[in-house]
Amino acid sequence: MSPEPAGIVVVGASLAGLRGAEALRRGGYDGPLTLVGAEPHRPYDRPPLSKHVLAGALDAGATRLPELTALRARWRLGNTAVALDRAARTVRLADGAVLAYDKLLVATGAEARPWPAATGGGLTGIHTLRGRDDARALRAALVAGPRRVLVVGGGLIGCEATSCLRDLGLPVTLVDPHPTPLANALGTVVGGVIADRLRDAGAVFRPGTQVRAFEGDASGRVVRARLADGSAIEADLVIAALGATRATGWLRGAGLMADPGGLTCDGACRARDADGTPCPDIYAAGDAARWPIPLYGDRLVSVEHWGNAVAQASHAARNMLAGPGDQRPYAHLPAFWSSQFGINIKLVGLTAGADTVAVVQGSLAARRFLAVYGRGGRSIAAVSFDQARWLPAYAEAILTGSPVPPITDATDQPRIARADPGFPPPRRAAPAPSPAETAHA
């Protein structure tokens, strides 16, 4: 009997891994297929974790992703990939197993940045939120009735969590170094709307300052936070929403361009080796990938967007099955949504580098609006607060590089004024691309 072909190995069994595997089967791939996942769970969906699950409307276990295609795959769940040997074409797992591959899809996503141990990170009562188990633990802590919850970081997850906590009637303080929440993602002009909503909802917002350290009691439970401005906040439950780093540690030593900012790919989703040459047999998709985006001058980006994980995984799968002469470029207009404080927020495009924002429909005061971001006079992104129905028209305008505002003479259009969007100044300060500059920060 001839040895079985090694087949395709997918590392990371979440959204990108699952949708990638399905696309391989739909694309006619009939060989062996293995999915490796560090978590013990079948692929599940993360967006509900910071929304319905925290709110108690959905059990953490009820988030399993629908499996849309018969996968006929071998699942290696609860097993972490720890090393990649490109020469031997093998992946080593934590349990010692070694998997051979013909082609590899890296879909290991990202992980929540933990609070540093040196400043209180080990204390009981400090939570992060990335996975189902995190959400379950956090939900249990909320039900136990904390006296005050401190949310550190006003990014999307920090804001969504704050919104849920207020719906539950819990006292909550949100601390963020910027003047408003969502400053990195949307700028302070738009972020100001969330700041107002947050306060209306009864949350305490402490802008422009940072938590320096947490202090615990004798039993090792968190009791207070010390802030950079010298003040303290008494809190017995903390959600550290500090952004995410890419789960690429297992690729160290493999000779790829991989760091906490992502695994760098070419435009066709192929991983680049340390010399920058695309590997014909290694692809990446989802939060883990960093790729050149043609619409934004081939700038390297990585995002934490559900829609990208789905689209990029199918695209990578398509290219994995195609010949070297038929590698299609990944053209994708980034987009994400968030729901918080009863507002449905959607963004298309990338705001990085925006020098202008203009409200083009509705009004900030009504908290129902559509705003366009511009850079050098061209539209690069658009955000809607409860106005998502118009986004396709603005997406089209972004794809064609229309001026700002791209659409005049619309219904419900205010007198259009351009403003500085108020992004925090050094957006590219960190030496390596930091999570703060990814689009879902």
Partner 1 sequence: MPDDALFAAVTDPANRADPYPLYARLRERPVARQRDGSYVVSGHAAIRALIFDPRLSSEDLPPFRRPPTGNPIRDWILNPIRSRIASAHRPLIFRDPPDHDALRAAVMREFTIPRVQALRPRVVREVDALLDACRGRERICLVDDLSYPLPVSVICDLLGVPESDEPQFQTWATQLATALEPDARGDVETRRHTVAAFDAISDYMRGLIREKRRCPTGDMLSGLAAPGPGGRKQMSDFDLIATAILLLVAGHETTVNLITNAMLTLLRHPEELARLRADPERAPRLIEEVLRFEPPVHFRTRKALGAITLAGETIPKGAPIILLFAAGNRDPARFDAPDRFDPDRPDLEHFGFGGGLHYCVGAPLARIEAEIALVALSRRLVAPRLMHDPPPYRPGASLRGPEQLHIGIDGIA
Ligand X SMILES: Cc1cc2nc3c(=O)[nH]c(=O)nc-3n(C[C@H](O)[C@H](O)[C@H](O)COP(=O)(O)OP(=O)(O)OC[C@H]3O[C@@H](n4cnc5c(N)ncnc54)[C@H](O)[C@@H]3O)c2cc1C
Show the beta-strand stretches assigned E in 169-231: 172-176, 204-207, 211-216, 222-227
Residue 7 in the binding site for ligand X (CB under 6 A): no
List strands edge to edge, sheet with 270-272.
74-77, 33-37, 8-11, 103-106, 278-284, 270-272
What residue type is 264 in one-letter code? T
Residue 314 binding: pick among partner 1, ligand X, none (C-beta 5-8 Å cut-off by kind): none
Residue 274 in the binding site for partner 1 (CB under 8 A): no
Comparison of 362 and 421: residue with beta carbon closer to partner 1: 362
Comparison of 274 and 393: residue with beta carbon closer to partner 1: 393
Nearest 10 degrees: CA dihedral of 179, 181, 185, 191? -80
Residue 361 in the binding site for partner 1 (CB under 8 A): yes
Q: How far from the centroid of its chain's Cα atoms is residue 276's Cα?
A: 25
Q: Is the peptide bond before 421 cis (omega within 30 degrees of 0)?
A: no
In the block, residue with structure tokens 């391989």: 24
Q: State in angstroms the smallest separation of the CB of 360 from partner 1.
A: 8
What's the CA gap between 104 and 11, in Å, rounded? 8
Residue 22 in the binding site for ligand X (CB under 6 A): no
Which of positions 122-181 make contact with ligand X (CB under 6 A)?
Answer: 129-130, 157
Comparison of 243 and 278: residue with beta carbon closer to ligand X: 243
The site string for ligand X over 31-70 (x = CB under 6 A, - otherwise) reads: -----xxxx------xx-xx--------------------
Comparison of 305 and 315: residue with beta carbon closer to ligand X: 305
Residue 438 in the binding site for ligand X (CB under 6 A): no
Our CA angle for 290, 294, 295, nearest 5°, is 115
Q: State in angstroms the smallest separation of the CB of 374 from ligand X.
A: 23
Q: State in angstroms the smallest separation of the CB of 408 from partner 1.
A: 6
**CB atoms inside a 10 Å sphere around CB 3:** 6
Residues that bind ligand X (CB under 6 A): 11-17, 36-39, 46-47, 49-50, 80-81, 107-110, 129-130, 157, 247, 250, 286-288, 304-307, 309, 336-338, 440
